[in-house]
Amino acid sequence: MHALIDDAVDVIVSFDQNRVIPKRMRWDNRIYNLKAVNLIHTAREGAKRVFYFSVSDLTNSFKLRLDTESLEWRLVETYTA
């Protein structure tokens, strides 16, 4: 099932060779251990740059958005079985 979401989430990341890698996400009082990063891309929203991460916990897939100005993470989409 695909759903469009626009919720703030907490994300724990690691940094490897100048790359941000999401590892864990808290959304709706649940913790998701992110096992795969499938795609990372950037976009411009006016003057600011945002990053989009397509990630998975091997059961569910999520699209996360990182605002580089405010450093806010948002859950944009979910794909669940």
Could you report the per-residue pLDDT of 6-50, keeping only the tens digit for each?
999 999 999 999 899 999 999 999 999 999 999 999 999 999 999
Residue 80 confidence class, pLDDT cut points 50, 70, 90: confident
Please give the model's pTM, rounded to 2 decimal places. 0.93
Say how many C-beta atoms besides its own lie within 10 A of residue 8's C-beta: 9
CA neighbor of 52 nearest in space, from 36, 68, 30 = 68
Q: Where are the domains of the chain?
A: 2-79
